[in-house]
Amino acid sequence: IMLTQSPATLSVTPGESISLSCRASQSISTNLHWYQQKPNESPRVLIKYASQSISGIPSRFSGSGSGTDFTLNINRVEPEDFSVYYCQQSNSWPLTFGSGTKLEIK
Amino acid sequence: QIQLVQSGPELKKPGESLKISCKASGYTFTDYAMQWVKQAPGKGLQYMGWINTQTGKPTYADDFKERFVFSLETSASTAYLQINNLKNEDTATYFCVMGAHYFDYWGQGVMVTVSS
């Protein structure tokens, strides 16, 4: 299953609210997870199963979607949010990742 | 707390082999699968496959069926990734990850550089 993330790069000002997209090549129900990766760090999971929150993750991160179209929302971007975001599907093996969206400061 | 601690960086020549370790702590090692993820410099995440920590059976994604070997030392709560006949394109950071469907816990990554 291929995951297509858009845009590849998003330039925003801190305080803006944004949406990142992940589209699957076939229906994956809600078996879609989101990760954040900062430079020289390991990724960390932000959202599981499309919309379920993860303990310790700020509430400004939320997810939605099912089937083939998914969205990661960040309400009022903070300076520490500028990093790369990946989606990953677990509906069928092999597990796959999207190519990532880089969130950068405008 | 749950931790995955990986071995240190590696510098190898093409054709050589290496073995990366991933030591788990803070949970029962055999309760969760161990997954492996590759990240080439400046690139995205690529799923390599997983090993069943109860049976030791490895399963490889298509790009990793040749030259790559997942193994365990269960008594030491440690998983290993061996790469044989190294190629330049193996230059990457390799992560071990705990989790069956989504990836809860990540090792710090091992940077492998293959260069003549």
Average confidence (pLDDT) over B96-115: 95
Question: Residue A7: pLDDT band by 50, 70, 90 thresholds?
Answer: very high
With an 8 Å Cβ cutoff, the interface of chain A facing chain B consists of 31, 33, 35, 37, 42-45, 48-49, 86, 88, 90, 93-100
* Model pLDDT, residue A8: 97
Put simply, the answer to whether B108 touches A42 (Cβ < 8 Å) is yes
Tens-digit pLDDT profile for residues A15-66: 999 999 999 999 999 999 999 999 999 999 999 999 999 999 999 999 999 9
Q: Compute the distance between CA of residue A99 and CA of residue A85 in angstroms, rounded to an integer.
A: 9
**A88 contacts B45? CB cut-off 8 A:** yes
Band of pLDDT at residue B99, cut at 50, 70 and 90: confident
Query: What's the longest Cα–Cα distance across chain A?
Result: 38
Q: Quick check: helix, strand or coil at residue B76?
A: helix
- pLDDT tens for each residue of B34-82: 999 999 999 999 999 999 999 999 999 999 999 999 999 999 999 999 9
- HSE-up of residue A50 (Cα within 13 Å, Cβ side): 15
Q: What is the pLDDT of residues B18-32, one digit of tens each?
A: 999 999 999 999 999
Query: Which is higher by pLDDT, B8 or B99?
Result: B8
In the predicted structure, residue B109 carries a pLDDT above the cut 90: yes
Residue of chain A minimizing CA distance to B61:
A94
Distance CA A87, CA A33 (A): 6
